[in-house]
Amino acid sequence: MEVLHSPVMQDEVLGALAPQAGSLQIDATVGGGGHTERILEAANPDGRVLGFDADEAAIARVGQRLSRFGDRLVLRCANFRELADVAPEAGFGAVDGLFFDLGLSSFQLADRERGFGFRAGGPLDMRFDATHGVPAAELLSTLDADGLASLFRRYGEEPAAWRIAKAIVAERASTPVGTAEALAALVERVVPGNPRQPRRTHPATRVFQALRIAVNDELGALEAGLAAAMDLLRPGGRLVVLSYHSLEDRIVKQFLAGERRGCICPPQVPICVCGHTPRLRLVTRPSQTPSDAEIAANPRARSARLRAAERLAA
């Protein structure tokens, strides 16, 4: 089955990133390669892009699809939490732009061997890098009800977390909850929809999100990646982030706010002792969201939020 991948907010991302000829850019999540391709085209004829992805399949796919760019595209199979080490080794120790697209690609959602999406189904693995961490099915089989409920609340902000957790523990006593189909069906039974109020998303969406975030430590990786970006960006370089749920966006928003402030000493301290100076200025204020036309054409874009900032001189 052919998978159609539609990069989200392409024009807005390019406008915020503003790649120029000869510039060095990092795409920290190449995914399907759509944004990477546009960045390379905008940086013609000699701009270069370093593309990261923890998913080996994504790196292989993008390498083949964008082979026409030759050595202008450098790919590394690595999580963006490793930016601080991998980027300088690849010749990208000082860059003009750094882009994070925190959403799943259409290829991952459609992969029946990974269990990212309940519509595609398959074993509940959910790891971006199959060589690290434990599969989601292992969490479902080993955590007790309190642990599962806490996970669903913390990473999925799921109101019915306790009911779902108890149902999983009861179910696994006789049958393991090891596939995306089984988990989605269980959540749908526990949290049935109101026929008078059609849902925009499947009732298992928050549970799947929570498991994926926990399996890949996505929030910890995001914090590490953002911190590394500050040391990699040249003055005038742009940091652009596309997030898709409130947990990610909160981290990005707070990070940008902290880096655009000066002194962060407590109010009771009479003179500044922290030495903190602003390192960013906001490019997007407020954040940007997809147009109605884009959401109609690509419903997966509806939750996207773009934030961007520019690195100030040290």
Q: Is 269 exposed, middle or buried (0-12, 13-18, 19+ CB in 10 A)?
A: exposed
- Same domain assignment for residues 124 and 212: yes
- Same domain assignment for residues 143 and 268: no
How high is the pLDDT of residue 2? 46
- Same domain assignment for residues 81 and 229: yes
Per-residue pLDDT for 270 more than 50? yes
Question: Which of 216, 238, 271 is the last residue in one of the domains?
Answer: 216
Confidence band, pLDDT 50/70/90 cuts, at residue 105: low
Q: Is residue 300 part of a domain?
A: yes
CA 206 to mean position of chain CA atoms: 15
Q: Is residue 134 part of a domain?
A: yes
Average the pLDDT over each of 68-72, 129-133, 168-172, 232-236 and give the range with the smallest value: 129-133
- Same domain assignment for residues 43 and 116: no
Classify residue 59 as left (phi > 0), alpha (psi -120 to 50) or beta.
Answer: alpha
Domain that residue 277 falls in: 10-107+218-311
- Same domain assignment for residues 278 and 299: yes
Contact 229, 311 (CB under 8 A): no
Q: Is residue 198 part of a domain?
A: yes
How high is the pLDDT of residue 272? 81
Q: Is residue 2 part of a domain?
A: no
Q: Is residue 147 part of a domain?
A: yes
Q: Is residue 33 part of a domain?
A: yes
- Same domain assignment for residues 99 and 193: no
- Same domain assignment for residues 24 and 55: yes
- Same domain assignment for residues 95 and 120: no
The reported pTM is: 0.89
Question: Which of 174, 190, 216 is the last residue in one of the domains?
Answer: 216
- Same domain assignment for residues 170 and 211: yes
One-letter amino acid for residue 145 of the chain = A
Radius of gyration of the CA atoms of the chain, in A:
21
How high is the pLDDT of residue 118? 65
- Tally of domains in the chain: 2
Question: Which of 159, 189, 216 is the last residue in one of the domains?
Answer: 216
Across the strands, what pairs with 77?
53
DSSP secondary structure code for residue 33 in this structure: S
- Same domain assignment for residues 99 and 15: yes
Q: Is residue 4 part of a domain?
A: no
- Same domain assignment for residues 168 and 179: yes
Contacts 24+ apart (CB under 8 A), 197-205: 200/302, 202/118, 202/119, 204/118
Dist. CA 170–CA 167, nearest whole Å? 5
CATH of residue 14's domain is: 3.40.50.150
Q: What is the pLDDT of residues 113-150, one digit of tens each?
A: 555 666 656 789 888 888 888 999 999 999 999 999 99
Per-residue pLDDT for 243 more than 60? yes
CATH of residue 202's domain is: 1.10.150.170
Structure tokens at 42: 């905008």
267 upstream amide cis, omega within 30 of 0: no
- Same domain assignment for residues 274 and 193: no
Q: Is residue 3 part of a domain?
A: no
Confidence band, pLDDT 50/70/90 cuts, at residue 192: confident
